[in-house]
Homo-oligomer: A and B are copies of this chain.
Amino acid sequence: MTERSIHHSTIVIERTYDASPSRVFAAWSTREALLRWGNPGDGWDLAYDHFDFRVGGGDINRFGPRGGPTFRNETTYFDIVPDVRIVSASSMTSERKHIFASLITAEFILAGKGCRLIVTEQGAFLDGHDKRANHEAGWSEMLDKLRIELLRTQVAA
């Protein structure tokens, strides 16, 4: 029998990018961009089974280390203000176990000519299957890759 527990924890992570809020928002709102930067593990696989970026819509993705455990994340979009913010809720499972649920807000704030991004993940870790340190590392990895994505799209523009 599974030992049931819930551990609540809020992660706030910030980055400032040399790109407009509009460009940073765009990287959060298209499947193609997210496939390039939205993977919490270095060298992990990431695929979308469903992608519907609109209020009331949502997406489903799967990710994880090759040959290792697969995580499935299902997101519902609650509020989207273009170039300003995204509010969503997510539920994560692994091997059919619910391991994590969260409310995530991303705020895109004009800072000089760039963008200050504030990500707040208000999470509930379930039954000890996942932990805060994994998520801090995952967000850090993703937001570093987002910097590279923004450089890439700047060169392409």
User: When the two chains form the complex, which single residue of B10, B81, B87, B98 contacts A79, counting CB atoms closer than 8 Å?
Assistant: B98
B6→A8 contact, CB < 8 A: no
A23 adjacent to chain B (CB < 8 Å) = no
Q: Interface residues, chain A, CB within 8 Å of chain B?
A: 4, 6, 8, 10, 55, 76, 78-79, 81, 84-85, 87, 89, 91, 98, 101-103, 105, 107, 120, 122-124, 126
User: DSSP majority for the A interface?
Assistant: strand
B103→A103 contact, CB < 8 A: yes
**Residues in B neighbouring A6, C-beta threshold 8 A:** 85, 87, 105, 107, 120
A122→B8 contact, CB < 8 A: yes
Query: Within the assembled complex, what's the spacing in Å between the Cα atoms of A84 and B4?
Result: 8
Q: What is the CB-to-nearest-CB distance from A134 to chain B, in angstroms, rounded to a whole number?
A: 18
Q: What is the CB-to-nearest-CB distance from A79 to chain B, in angstroms, rounded to a whole number?
A: 4
Known A-B contacts A4-B81, A87-B124, A126-B79; the reply to A102 vs B105 at CB < 8 A is: no
Known A-B contacts A10-B10, A84-B4, A87-B98; the reply to A105 vs B124 at CB < 8 A is: yes
A102→B101 contact, CB < 8 A: no
Q: Which of A10, A120, A124 has the most CB of B within 10 A?
A: A124
B8→A8 contact, CB < 8 A: no
Q: Which of A85, A87, A122 has the most CB of B within 10 A?
A: A122
Query: Within the assembled complex, what's the spacing in Å between the Cα atoms of A79 and B103?
Result: 14
